[in-house]
Chains A and B, each alone.
Chain A
Amino acid sequence: MTRVLVIIPAYNEAASLPAVIQDLRVCYPAADPLVVNDGSTDETARIARGLGVPVLDLPYNLGIGGAVQTGLLYAARERYDYAVQFDGDGQHRADQLAALLAPVVARRADVAIGSRFMVPNSYQVPFLRRCGIAIFSAVNALIVGQTITDNTSGFRAYGRDALTFLAREYPHDYPEPESVVTLCRNGFRIVEVPTSMRERQGGRSSITLFRSIYYMCKVLLAIGVRATGRRVGRVQDDTAHPDYLGSR
């Protein structure tokens, strides 16, 4: 029996979380949802617990990268076969989860990324953001020799090897485009799956217009460093502390 963990990073997502969990339970009941509460100041943790979902409470805000990595650490230690990254704001659709997992389960890929840009006109992206995404796509294509149309997508499925690897090596603040390069450089196979996404149900995007320039510079720098950087090697499964597993 394969086990799937759905990691839901949530920073002040109390408004949208119930619908997200409900959506997951209806569309993909076989998966275990896990909320990573990234130091929320609202009722996120209480609401998630009220829904009977396990919650990892970070003592303070780590940012999306640190939050997702916490979920990946959990997945690695609890011996999950697959992990899915799924936003807590209602953007991602649980009915697309099976399609996202399919190539990973079939071992055609180690990582599947849900792309908004393989379905024509399905999702309205503001012009500037579309430009940024195009730049990432071009830069990453140049570096890894594979065109990823939606590098910023946070709707992703990981196989066991990839999730164990990322539990150790996951980028900080804005991890998505950078992790594509890290994964490719370390020999993980990535496929994109056409996905439609909803408009946000609540909360605000973590990337405001003001921070976009900083975001672009930081991520491009990180990608550049990754492109020249060391290969870390695939799997040394040292994420599982023996005491932790022994107590189960």
Chain B
Amino acid sequence: MTQRIQIISVLGSLAVMVFVFMLIRRGKLREEYAIIWFLASLALIAVSIWRDSLDVAADLAGIYYAPSVLLLGVIVLGFALAMHYSISLSRLAEQNKRLAQEVALLRHQIESLNDAGGPRGHSPTPVRR
């Protein structure tokens, strides 16, 4: 019984790692985010193989019911991830705003250049090859 759940969780963790690896290969996931998922799956594998680690951690933290250590860990990880994404989103929003402002300023500059007769030899007609 105990072996069966160990095998399932090790296989599940490995599946996550393979999935993350595939995503990186296809260029759909940046490495900085992948690292978190790799570490999480590694931690899960470690806990699956060395089950007593939960009891040891529970003892150390003074937690009576050992499996709740696992839940606590998952919740902390989820919280940390959500925080990480909030920070990333805020940074992206700021950069996005700056980019939009630059686009507006550059567009205006192009317009005024065109109005002033435009730079000769830089007409927007596509070059034939």
What residues of chain A have their CB less than 8 Å away from a CB belonging to chain B?
A: 36, 54-60, 62, 66, 69-70, 73-74, 77, 172, 244, 247
Name the 6 nearest CB pairs between A and B, nearest first: A56-B104, A70-B101, A58-B104, A66-B97, A56-B108, A59-B103
- CB B98 to nearest CB in A, in angstroms, measures 9
A-B contact count (CB 8 A): 40
What chain B residues lie within 8 Å of A73 (beta carbons)? 101, 105
Nearest chain-A residue to B106 (Cβ)? A244
Interface string of B91-129 (1 = CB under 8 A from A): 000000100110111011100110000000000000000
6 contacts between A and B (CB under 8 A): A56-B104, A57-B107, A62-B97, A62-B101, A69-B101, A77-B105
Closest to B93 in A: A172
A36 touches B104 (CB 8 A): yes
B101 touches A55 (CB 8 A): no
Tell me the complex Cα distance, A74–B108, Å: 10
> Which of B103, B104, B109, B112: most chain A CB closer than 10 A?
B104
- Complex contact B100–A59 (CB within 8 A): yes
Q: Most chain-B CB neighbours within 10 Å: which of A59, A60, A77?
A: A59
Residue from A66, A172, A244, A247 in contact with B101 in the complex, judged by beta carbons closer than 8 Å? A66
A238 CB to closest chain B CB, in angstroms? 13
* C-alpha spacing A59/B107, complex, angstroms: 10
A193 to chain B minimum Cβ distance, whole angstroms, is 28
CA–CA, A57 to B107, complex, Å? 8
Measured in the bound complex, the distance between the Cα atoms of B110 and A244 in whole Å is: 11
- Provide the residues of chain A in CB contact with B97, threshold 8 Å: 62, 66, 172
Name the residue in A56, A60, A66, A69 with the highest tally of chain B Cβ atoms < 10 Å from its Cβ: A56
Q: What residues of B have a CB within 8 angstroms of the CB of A36 in the complex?
A: 104
* B109 interface neighbour in A59, A66, A247, Cβ under 8 Å: A247
Question: A93 vs B112: C-alpha distance in the bound complex, in angstroms?
Answer: 29
Within 8 Å by CB of B104, from A57, A77, A172, A247, lies A57
Output the least CB separation between A19 and chain B (Å).
23
CA A69 to CA B109, docked complex, whole Å:
17
- Interchain CB contact under 8 A, B101 and A58: yes
By beta carbon, the residue of chain B nearest A63 is B97
Report how far A95 CA is from B40 CA in the complex, Å: 64
A70 contacts which chain B residues (CB < 8 A)? Answer: 100-101, 104-105
Nearest Cβ distance between residue B121 and chain A, in whole angstroms?
Answer: 16
- Are B109 and A58 in contact (CB-based, < 8 A)? no
Contacts of A74 in B (CB 8 A): 105, 108
Query: Is A60's CB under 8 angstroms from B100's CB?
Result: yes
User: In whole angstroms, what is the CA distance A36 to B103 when docked?
Assistant: 12
Q: Which residues of B contact A69 (CB under 8 A)?
A: 101
A211–chain B nearest beta-carbon distance, Å: 19
Q: B105 near A56 (CB under 8 angstroms)?
A: yes
Alpha-carbon separation in the docked complex, A192 to B75 (Å): 51
Measured between beta carbons, the chain B residues less than 8 angstroms from A54 are 108, 112
